[in-house]
Chains A and B, each alone.
Chain A
Amino acid sequence: MAAAAARAWALRGGLALAWRGPRGLAGSAARWQQEDFSSLDEKPQFPGASAEFVDKLDFIKPNVISGIPVYRVMDRQGQIINASEDPQLPQEVVLKLYKSMTLLNTMDRILYESQRQGRISFYMTNYGEEGTHVGSAAALDDTDLVFGQYREAGVLMYRGYPLNLFMSQCYGNSGDPGKGRQMPVHYGCKERNFVTISSPLATQIPQAVGAAYAAKRANSNRAVICYFGEGAASEGDAHAGFNFAATLECPIIFFCRNNGYAISTPTSEQYRGDGIAARGPGYGIMSIRVDGNDVFAVYNATREARRRAVAENQPFLIEAMTYRIGHHSTSDDSSAYRSVDEVNYWDKQDHPISRLRHYMLSRGWWDEEQEKGWRKQSRKKVMEAFEEAERKLKPPVGFIFSDVYQEMPAQLQKQQEALSRHLQAYGEHYPLDHFEQ
């Protein structure tokens, strides 16, 4: 009796007093609205979690053996498994998917080679991951804002970014919209809503969330998609981004390219849980794992995620499983940490380009002759852009000093003048003839 009375007191009066805390009534006002304390049920009343009591000690086992399943539409031979999941994209869209992937592949091979020949300083290929780029890009609106990491050139390719601009950025020449300031593959394009890439990993994740919040407030019917690798997902910024997106209810798609490696670090050394998809529910985020080498699976997942993210103002997490066929970059030789056999398996047996090609062949939308013709044509396009990039001068040296701020501060003007005077006296020691005046 006394116990019941005590409990009644605690729930009605005593707890209320305890709730006041240092912030007084202001702090507890919101909480008062959340829970009804009149019940004497044995339910936990903690503000931090709503769950039942349990009286048996039992740890939750992180379910890594049978983890989150991988959604796919096509088998490895490009045949649709479940017809109701076929997005039934029209032929011109499928052709565009295919041509974007293959054109990217061709450009990758030529630019990788050009680095080897000392024509550009650095390059990163996209081998094996082309499906993640175009499948997701096709599912978005053109106005959706893209934040990438560095291995999403196919998204830009799908959106029609011209070859000569890709090349100009890699060459850092006068055609580069980025004004020659960044290493190769750090693309950006305002018209195509592709935010300029930066080298620090995962920094784009909370930024993408902020951009999504602004889009929500503007009622602009725009989604934001944020790409990152499974390695970058280990960064604190990723945790920050996920948590903010969920608590602030942002229309954002988090797209993780899980390609098996972060430079040389395999996933077994990157995380111990069930990949990145399993983290989503921990933040309260709708999550899915897909076969990243299946463009239709990527397309379907992204399309649905986009629709719901904007309609419901909540984040979605897509973990696209894939494989990084190429080296991390031109500074890497992956034979140092993985076998050639492993790489060959993915190149020959499970490649997004060949799987889509099989699909197209079985639909009668493609054949050997068109394949040959397209290979020749795409190579020619790439070589033309390449030669044009080779010929162009670099931008004016004055670009060192502009855009640090919107306006150039006095101190920078003085430094610019100092460099100018220096070059007048010592110009012969500098490659001035490669730069526009």
Chain B
Amino acid sequence: MAAAVVASTARWVRVRAGVVEAARLRCQLGGSRFGRLFLLPSAAGDVAQRRHVAHFTFHPDPENRKYVIFGEDVAFGGVFRCTVGLRDKYGKDRVFNTPLCEQGIVGFGIGVAVNGATAIAEIQFADYIFPAFDQIVNEAAKYRYRSGDLFNCGGLTIRAPWGCVGHGALYHSQCPEAFFAHCPGIKIVVPRSPFQAKGLLLSCIEDKNPCIFFEPKILYRAAVEQVPVEPYYIPLSQAEVLQEGSDVTLVAWGTQVHVIREVASMAREKLGVSCEVIDLKTILPWDIDTVCKSVAKTGRLMISHEAPLTGGFASEISSTVQEECFLNLEAPISRVCGYDTPFPHIFETFYIPDKWKCYDALRKMINY
């Protein structure tokens, strides 16, 4: 894919899918409704340029004819419009609907990859990935290992919309990364923005291991970011320090990154506290070194995710950090997560780990 030569002039295309706006939208849920505010003045922009990142994975791929993308409703463009225009451009043998069957979608995708092609399998909502759990955990993750590297399904990438969206309730809001984090052999990636999404998704597709790419659905519509037309790759298993700080480390992934960025500002204004903000990006294998290095410096760690607290991925991070950085810690590691309940509908505003809960936990850590 990287070998495809695209137009010589780099063109920047406006992509309508949000960055900071997501945070603003989320933080204002339950408070006054501001509707959709776009940070960039000319954001009202071009309806014709409404493209999601998935489009860009195929865009620079005229040479390599072995990529296929499939799932429920993928052909007409997808329920989140991620695959709009791809079928017309690349043909119905490469972009197609499957029957309504997640275990079939993933099983089929594994087989495509085993036989040497690249499969991009879409699961319509991460909440519906569970019928495919056996195929992912028992098959995809173990294919290379159990065959002694005779066979593998590294060409498989599974994409699924993920996370809270304001009204999704139990079955359109889940963040199931913790279930899969317990499964050696797959990679799990969650982007925080359109620019990150394209680079990380392309890396997942190129990666020679089966990958699950969770796309925060609230970010599909929420704002605008400029994304290069050419392919570019953001490395997996490398966390990113978005802002350096000295007093406390904040770790999150996906939508929640914007929440903790806001919390970092609040901490600076109200408490004079300097936060180091880390986007983990890859849940498995995760970048232990970056997080531990940060905590060794700051002495305090807060991890935040929408998924329920117990058994959530924050527990893995917390456990590892206390092993590696025990003597550096000035306060217990704080986890600000969803409650141990299914994701409720009308109560979403109270359920989510919003900036006030994060701020409060941070304050307690500082005063410990």
Complex-state Cα separation, A215 to B111, whole angstroms: 10
Complex-state Cα separation, A145 to B115, whole angstroms: 9
- Chain A residues within 8 Å of B339, by CB: none
B99 and A247 form a contact (CB under 8 A): yes
Contact with B along A392-411 (1 / 0, CB 8 A): 00000000001111100111
For residue B304, CB closer than 8 A to chain A, the reply is no
Give the residues from 166 to 204 in chain A that come closer than 8 angstroms, CB to CB, to chain B: 176-179, 181-182, 186, 188-190, 195-196, 198, 200, 203
Closest residue on chain A to residue B287 by CB atoms:
A410
For residue B340, CB closer than 8 A to chain A, the reply is no
For residue B74, CB closer than 8 A to chain A, the reply is no
B66 and A410 form a contact (CB under 8 A): no
Contact with A along B225-240 (1 / 0, CB 8 A): 0000000000001000
Complex-state Cα separation, A196 to B110, whole angstroms: 13
- Chain B residues within 8 Å of A182, by CB: 146
Q: A206-B111, A240-B107, A410-B288 are in contact. Are A404 and B135 (CB under 8 A)?
A: no
Complex-state Cα separation, A402 to B185, whole angstroms: 11
A205 smallest CB distance to B (angstroms): 7
Give the residues from 198 to 244 in chain A that come closer than 8 angstroms, CB to CB, to chain B: 198, 200, 203, 205-215, 217-218, 224, 236-237, 239-241, 243-244
B211 smallest CB distance to A (angstroms): 10
A189 and B150 form a contact (CB under 8 A): yes
B179 smallest CB distance to A (angstroms): 17
Give the residues from 135 to 153 in chain B that come closer than 8 angstroms, CB to CB, to chain A: 135, 138-139, 142-152
The interface on chain A, measured as residues whose beta carbon lies within 8 A of the other chain's beta carbons, has a size of 52
A411 and B285 form a contact (CB under 8 A): yes
For residue A26, CB closer than 8 A to chain B, the reply is yes
For residue B321, CB closer than 8 A to chain A, the reply is no
A243 and B104 form a contact (CB under 8 A): yes
Q: A207-B139, A243-B101, A410-B288 are in contact. Are A403 and B148 (CB under 8 A)?
A: yes
Complex-state Cα separation, A406 to B187, whole angstroms: 11
Closest residue on chain A to residue B289 by CB atoms:
A410
- Chain A residues within 8 Å of B134, by CB: 200, 203, 237
- Chain B residues within 8 Å of A176, by CB: 148
Q: A200-B138, A244-B98 are in contact. Are A213 and B147 (CB under 8 A)?
A: no
Q: A200-B139, A217-B93 are in contact. Are A404 and B145 (CB under 8 A)?
A: yes
B139 smallest CB distance to A (angstroms): 5
For residue B128, CB closer than 8 A to chain A, the reply is no
B321 smallest CB distance to A (angstroms): 14
- Chain B residues within 8 Å of A189, by CB: 150
B112 and A205 form a contact (CB under 8 A): no
- Chain B residues within 8 Å of A403, by CB: 144-145, 148-149
B152 and A406 form a contact (CB under 8 A): yes
A214 and B111 form a contact (CB under 8 A): yes
For residue B117, CB closer than 8 A to chain A, the reply is yes
Q: A198-B139, A237-B107, A406-B209 are in contact. Are A211 and B114 (CB under 8 A)?
A: yes
Give the residues from 39 to 96 in chain A that come closer than 8 angstroms, CB to CB, to chain B: none
The interface on chain B, measured as residues whose beta carbon lies within 8 A of the other chain's beta carbons, has a size of 52
Complex-state Cα separation, A182 to B150, whole angstroms: 13
Closest residue on chain B to residue A406 by CB atoms:
B208
B151 and A190 form a contact (CB under 8 A): yes
Complex-state Cα separation, A406 to B145, whole angstroms: 9
Complex-state Cα separation, A316 to B94, whole angstroms: 23
Give the residues from 43 to 78 in chain B that come closer than 8 angstroms, CB to CB, to chain A: 65-66, 68, 76-77
Complex-state Cα separation, A411 to B106, whole angstroms: 27
Closest residue on chain A to residue B153 by CB atoms:
A207
Give the residues from 269 to 307 in chain B that come closer than 8 angstroms, CB to CB, to chain A: 285, 288-289
For residue B342, CB closer than 8 A to chain A, the reply is no
Contact of A195 among B93, B112, B144, B151 (CB under 8 A): B151
For residue B38, CB closer than 8 A to chain A, the reply is no
Closest residue on chain B to residue A226 by CB atoms:
B111
Contact of B76 among A26, A179, A241, A406 (CB under 8 A): A26
For residue B311, CB closer than 8 A to chain A, the reply is no
For residue B131, CB closer than 8 A to chain A, the reply is yes
For residue A427, CB closer than 8 A to chain B, the reply is no
Complex-state Cα separation, A189 to B154, whole angstroms: 18
Complex-state Cα separation, A258 to B277, whole angstroms: 59
B45 smallest CB distance to A (angstroms): 23
- Chain A residues within 8 Å of B351, by CB: none
Complex-state Cα separation, A240 to B77, whole angstroms: 23
A264 smallest CB distance to B (angstroms): 23
- Chain A residues within 8 Å of B145, by CB: 181, 403-404
Closest residue on chain B to residue A208 by CB atoms:
B111
A181 and B148 form a contact (CB under 8 A): yes
- Chain A residues within 8 Å of B135, by CB: 203, 206-207, 237
For residue A432, CB closer than 8 A to chain B, the reply is no
For residue A372, CB closer than 8 A to chain B, the reply is no
Q: A406-B208, A409-B285 are in contact. Are A210 and B138 (CB under 8 A)?
A: no
Closest residue on chain A to residue B207 by CB atoms:
A406
B114 and A195 form a contact (CB under 8 A): yes
For residue A391, CB closer than 8 A to chain B, the reply is no
B150 and A178 form a contact (CB under 8 A): yes
For residue A363, CB closer than 8 A to chain B, the reply is no
Contact of A210 among B65, B119, B187, B288 (CB under 8 A): B119
A244 and B99 form a contact (CB under 8 A): yes
A236 and B131 form a contact (CB under 8 A): yes
Interface centre among B76, B101, B288 (most CB of A within 10 A): B101
B148 and A178 form a contact (CB under 8 A): yes
Give the residues from 323 to 362 in chain B that come closer than 8 angstroms, CB to CB, to chain A: none
- Chain A residues within 8 Å of B119, by CB: 210
Complex-state Cα separation, A23 to B99, whole angstroms: 18
B308 smallest CB distance to A (angstroms): 24
B104 and A406 form a contact (CB under 8 A): no
Q: Which 5 A-B pairs have the closest CB atoms?
A: A210-B111, A206-B107, A240-B104, A207-B111, A196-B147
Chain B positions near chain A (C-beta within 8 angstroms): 65-66, 68, 76-77, 93-94, 96, 98-99, 101, 103-104, 106-117, 119, 131, 134-135, 138-139, 142-152, 154, 184-185, 187, 208-209, 237, 285, 288-289
Extra inter-chain contacts (14) besides given A26-B76, A178-B150, A210-B110, CB under 8 Å: A188-B151, A195-B114, A196-B150, A200-B138, A203-B134, A203-B135, A210-B114, A211-B111, A212-B111, A214-B112, A217-B68, A248-B98, A405-B209, A409-B237
Q: Could you list 11 examples of A-B contacts with CB < 8 Å?
A: A188-B150, A200-B138, A206-B110, A206-B111, A209-B107, A214-B116, A217-B66, A237-B134, A237-B135, A240-B104, A411-B285
